[in-house]
Copies of this chain bind each other. A is one copy, B any other.
Amino acid sequence: MLDFTYYAPTKVHFGKGKHKDVGKIIKEYGYKRIMLQYGKGSIKKSGLYEEVIKALAENDIEVVEMGGVEPNPKISFVREAVKLARERNVEMILAVGGGSVIDSCKYTAAGAVNDCDVWEFPTRKTIPSKSLPVGCILTIAAAGSEMSCSAVITNTELNMKRGFNNEVNRCKFAICNPELTYTVSEYHTACGIVDIMAHTMERYFTVCEPTDLTDRIAESILKSVVGAGRVLMENPCDYDARATVMWASSLSHNDLTGCGRENVLAVHQLEHALSGEYDYIAHGAGLAVLFPAWARYVCKYNISRFAQFARRVWDVSDTDDAAAAYGGIEKMAQFFADIKMPLRLRDFDIPSDCSARLADLCTFGKQREIKSFISLDYDRVREIFESCW
């Protein structure tokens, strides 16, 4: 087991109706003027917006609004939000939404109290040591941003999607009411499930062993999410299945599944090139295509690990390790198909010769290699993209 630091200080308020406590929760921290960010308006249609505004008003909390966060949040939006947060001296940022809204809030929070442009965070020109507090009301189980130290942003001018990992990014609190996800479409529910599984599997498929306890926790999350995912395809309003997926979302990316292991997120780096270039591709859908392709490509470099994954998560019974290992990957791909995820790059509306361009983006123009069981340089990354056309 490698040395690690585990720090997951987010206070999670989990359960039915919990979003109605948001005013009380914020008041207890003593914040009186907050910025509220949300997406394109689905929270207005569902009535959640009004409930949140009411809860805040009842606790005398002044609200500065910045609605309209886009999926794959844009740096231009964040820059505006930072300007407004500074002008209005807000004390905290409240995200009502999913990973995109939370990530937008994390950038806004860091930008508001650090004297630099927010693009300096993902490019590591500035490493912030402070940020405004961020809280969230989660409306989709997927990104795990509610407990993670990550925040992803898209720079449309440079056509780049980049992450920024820092302890200041941890939400102070997360309000997780599984009922709020009943209305998430089948497609986006499935995308979320893939994202959660990917966060867990990325940490699982690294080279440092043995980490028996961390392995088993990761396998627990995967098995539970697969089970709940199948239930949700039949009944999107199954509370326990929604709750399982929502709690798994937080645990998959709060570092619990990586304790004692390397943190690489190789497939995420492939996918960020894809959805950075083709903005309309949902992150989870991109991962559903790329994860099996990556796994098939690297499997031979660590057969025993893929065999353990196959046996413990997918109940593959092959006694031969290689057969089990490859069998597990196909079971994973089949599950993604079962929850109606795309399986090939051609399922997206993108050109058939995209691999070179994507490999170039992913390796920053052949400037970096992606760490994995083997180091993935431009040529290998391109092969992986090609293999899933």
Interface residues of A, Cβ cutoff 8 Å to B: 1-9, 11-16, 18, 210-214, 216-217, 219-221, 223-225, 227-228, 239-240, 243-244, 247-248, 251, 256, 259-260
Query: Using Cβ atoms and an 8 Å threshold, which residues of chain B touch A216?
Result: 219-221, 223-224
A3-B16, A4-B15, A11-B5 known; A224 vs B247 contact (CB < 8 Å): no
Oligomeric state, in copies = 2
Of A9, A212, A225, A227, which is in contact with the most chain B CB atoms at under 10 Å from its CB? A212
Question: Are the CB atoms of B259 and A1 closer together than 8 Å?
Answer: no
Question: Are the CB atoms of B14 and A240 closer together than 8 Å?
Answer: no
Q: Which of B4, B6, B12, B212 contacts A6 (CB 8 A)?
A: B12
Minimum distance in angstroms from A7 CB to a CB of chain B? 4
Query: Using Cβ atoms and an 8 Å threshold, which residues of chain B touch A239?
Result: 1
Query: Using Cβ atoms and an 8 Å threshold, which residues of chain B touch A224?
Result: 212-213, 216
**A248 CA / B210 CA spacing, docked (Å):** 15
Question: Are the CB atoms of A14 and B18 closer together than 8 Å?
Answer: no
User: Which chain B residue has the least Cβ–Cβ distance from A228?
Assistant: B212
Query: Using Cβ atoms and an 8 Å threshold, which residues of chain B touch A247?
Result: 1, 213-214, 259-260
Question: Are the CB atoms of A18 and B1 closer together than 8 Å?
Answer: no
**A387 CA / B225 CA spacing, docked (Å):** 41
**A212 CA / B243 CA spacing, docked (Å):** 10
Question: Are the CB atoms of A221 and B213 closer together than 8 Å?
Answer: yes
Query: Using Cβ atoms and an 8 Å threshold, which residues of chain B touch A14?
Result: 3-6, 259-260
Minimum distance in angstroms from A268 CB to a CB of chain B? 22
10 further A-B pairs in the complex, CB-CB below 8 A; given A7-B12, A216-B221: A1-B15, A1-B239, A1-B247, A3-B14, A211-B240, A213-B225, A213-B251, A217-B217, A217-B220, A220-B220
User: Which chain B residue has the least Cβ–Cβ distance from A14?
Assistant: B4
Query: Using Cβ atoms and an 8 Å threshold, which residues of chain B touch A244?
Result: 1, 212-213
**A12 CA / B239 CA spacing, docked (Å):** 33
Of A3, A6, A217, which is in contact with the most chain B CB atoms at under 10 Å from its CB? A6
**A210 CA / B217 CA spacing, docked (Å):** 18
Minimum distance in angstroms from A287 CB to a CB of chain B? 20
Query: Using Cβ atoms and an 8 Å threshold, which residues of chain B touch A259?
Result: 14, 247
- Going nearest first, the 6 A-B pairs with the smallest beta carbon separation are A3-B15, A216-B220, A9-B9, A213-B224, A6-B12, A7-B11
Query: Using Cβ atoms and an 8 Å threshold, which residues of chain B touch A211?
Result: 240
Question: Are the CB atoms of B248 and A213 closer together than 8 Å?
Answer: yes
**A217 CA / B223 CA spacing, docked (Å):** 11
